Amino acid sequence: MIIYAETSGQHSTNSGSWSPIPGLTITLPRGVGDSALLILNIPNPYAQGTHNPGGNFGLQVNGVVLGTFACFTYNEQVPPSTGRVPTTLSVVTPLSSSGPTSVVAVWSSVRHSTVRIDSPATLTGIIA
C-alpha cells in the first residue's frame, strides 16, 4: 500500500522551531507488528540569509518529531545566488497497534534564514 501527499504553490518558513510543511500530511492505517517506509522528498528547496543560510526537514509521527532529519546549508556566509539543494529523508517507523498513525512533514530554518519551496514536494508512506 502506498499513501502519498504533495504540496502545491509556494511556501516559506523562517521559524527556528519545527513547523508543518503545508500539504504534507498523511495518515497510515493501524498495523500490528507492521512498519512503514516514509520518504520526504523536497526536490528544489533554497534558503536566503546572511549567515550560511539553510533548512532542516523532518517528520512528526503521532505528534513526536523523529530524531532523524535532513539538512542543507550553503558554504558561503552570504551566497551570491540561491542555488537549489535537493533534499530527501527516508525513515522506517512502526505502525500503531491502537489506531491510525499520523505523519506530518516539518521544517525549520538554519541560523534565522528563510527557507523556500516553490515546486511540488512529496511525502510518501509505503507499507509492504
Q: For 25-43, how does the pLDDT look when each residue is reduced to its tens digit (9 = 90+)?
A: 999 999 878 999 999 999 9
Q: Which domains does the chain have, with CATH numbers?
A: 2-126 (2.60.120.760)
Residue 94: what residue type?
A: P
- pTM here is 0.94
Identify the pLDDT of residue 61: 96
User: What backbone torsions phi and psi does residue 81 show, to the nearest 5 degrees?
Assistant: -150, 160
Cα–Cα distance between 100 and 61 in angstroms, integer?
Answer: 11
Cα–Cα distance between 125 and 66 in angstroms, integer?
Answer: 15
Q: For 43-82, how does the pLDDT look when each residue is reduced to its tens digit (9 = 90+)?
A: 999 999 999 999 999 999 999 999 999 999 999 898 888 8
Using CA atoms, how far residue 27 sits from 3, 49, 91, in Å, is 8, 34, 16
